[in-house]
Structure 1
Amino acid sequence: MKVLLVDDDPTALHIASCVLRRIDGADPVAIANPVEALDWLKENNPDLILIDQIMPALDGLEMLERIRSWPHLAEVPVVMITAETSVSLRVAALERGCTDFLTKPIIVPELLVRAQNLLRLRTGQRLLNDQAAMLRVQVDDATALLRQQAQELVTRLAHAAEFRDPETGGHLERMAGYAGLIARGLGIDEDECNQIVQAAPMHDIGKIGIPDAILLKPGRLSGPEMLVMRQHPAIGHDILRGSAHKLIEMAAEIAHAHHEKFDGTGYPRGLSGTAIPLPARIVAVADVFDALTSARAYKPAWSLEEARAFLIANSGSHFDPSCVAAFVAQWSAVVETFQAIPDRLAEAAQVATLQGFLSA
């Protein structure tokens, strides 16, 4: 354990160093010049500092102020050695962070005992700091595991919804990618952007509760059938709500509100403007754009330019204008995302057509 001694009296330095060497594990560093001692302290973190009060260039109080101004020395015990016993000096030293005092001339047994006690305290302090650091690591690891588990749960539930609605194809991956582009374009911090990307695929989880006759019906739904279909946001919210995990709670929010419209004409609650949670407003743009540009049994795919024009035309009515602007501003990235994640339904149709041609 490093012990720094600062005193312009070489005899006092020698005596104190000899005494401190009698303490197991103590390694005294003796420096006569306080300025040189401060230079040494910039690069070192001793376990105990003993400084004389009356020294040239800097006195003990000034040196004490410098020491306590450095974060790496904030918890190091500092003992002031002085022949002055005035209350005003001791109060001034304590106000500047002094830990203890020794009165000159130094009494060897007193120096030995005080140094031993302070080094024991310093050892305990270091152990507590190490334990706190270990606990922080353990908490960080546990938090990362919970985040990973929540992400896995969200992904698996999203794929469960995919099994019920096979026409989704690469929809979940693409729309999550689009949602991430919008979130970053809005300047949302990276951690929340990632959560939006992870939660976005859960937007239609409520379709698990829609009967197959309606969910899988080719062509347009009737009025009563559409009313049933429009229950899926509330069903999705009921499945996901109440979680203590932020990711799943965000997914519940998105599931509930991604069919709301900016002008208040959406469903299921008729929310408008910023009353619609921002992640849901982001997903609304990403979801509709991908639905328009994907081929379905009941419709051909729109071109990317046609879908972009639709978003712009409905900005401020169906969609949050800021989300549309952030999406359009990153058009080259949108095109890359569209091309990078092909629609599995379209691929399957191409394969079926090719197989039919070969067997003919």
Structure 2
Amino acid sequence: MIEYESVTKIYGAGSKAVTATNNVTFTIEDGESAVFLGPSGCGKTTMLRMTNRLESITRGTIKVNGEDIMSMNPQQLRLGMGYVIQQIGLFPNKTIAENIAVVPRMLRWDKARIKARIDEMLNLVNLDPGIYRDRYPVELSGGQQQRVGVARGLAANPSILLMDEPFGAIDPINRDQIQDEFLRLQGKLKKTIAFVSHDIHEAIKMADKIAIFKDGLLVQYDTPEAILMRPANKFVSDFVGADRALKVLGLLRIRDAMNPAPKNLLQANEEAPQALRMMEERRLPFAFVIRNSKPIGYITPKNLKYEQGRVGELAEKFPETLGTREPVRDALAAMLMHDLSALPVIDDNGDLAGAISYRNIQKSILELYTEDQDD
């Protein structure tokens, strides 16, 4: 847990004094991700840097897990927190393994423990240790380097992770992939995260709570849903954008909108005539074809007519697959792009987790707005 109590930071003195943050109070609960958001110069990065005492506090208190950070040794405080920055900051003269091992070595872990942790971290961020362990940063792409930066930040297993625009320097395709990867990690690790961003779409995607700053003041601290649907004032409304209703599509996760028990399923080994009869009796316009619990394609009555083979041999492949953590926006885009009214959803093992359709999406959005009006 991180508690900010009336935190003020002033640079300079007298007529030249500049207030970077002004009487800011809020709490990041254990296991929550809080994104600090706002225009340049609003104080968000200063708040982050005061959290590990890279910047001093003028007035107020910051507590980490109930302890005032000013009573703690600064080096020990920083060693107990992961820190991931936009420029990545890998040491170019050290191998990937040596970069990840920096904090564990400072904490005097033994060599066997460090070696095991390096491989564990590389596997966690989907980089094969056998391939990447002994490479140097210059041999990696920007996206791969950022994955190593995340691995280094998590290497000593800190309960708190500070992230300063960690994905800002990466191209949009890699950024989206790494964000998804990080959400997967956070789903497992449940770290307490303070995350600076300038991108409202990233904040909506990554945050449990969003802190919006303006001129050093905390304007609103709330869930992404509340900020999109109940902005505190005109500044927040303008900042999140006039299309904030559409941004709800990026907020909702497929797991929140999908049907977990679709009935239009066919096993791959079923014979075409029997499958056609079943689809006609149930008036199914299409069905998902499953083999060993994994969706392999879809079939329509037209595909089955006059056929005698097995359904799995006749199915058309899905143009793409969707995971439960992906935003509903991605599902809608995929359905529009490929002219499909529904798509299967898979879990982390590739097994069928459910199905997402236009009707599911519409129902979920209506429910969200109804809940908002009830509040």
TM-score, normalised to structure 2, is 0.20
TM-score normalised according to structure 1 size: 0.21
- Higher strand share goes to which structure? 2
Higher RCO (C-alpha under 8 Å, 6+ residues apart): 2
Larger Rg over CA atoms: 1
- Name whichever structure is richer in helix by fraction: 1
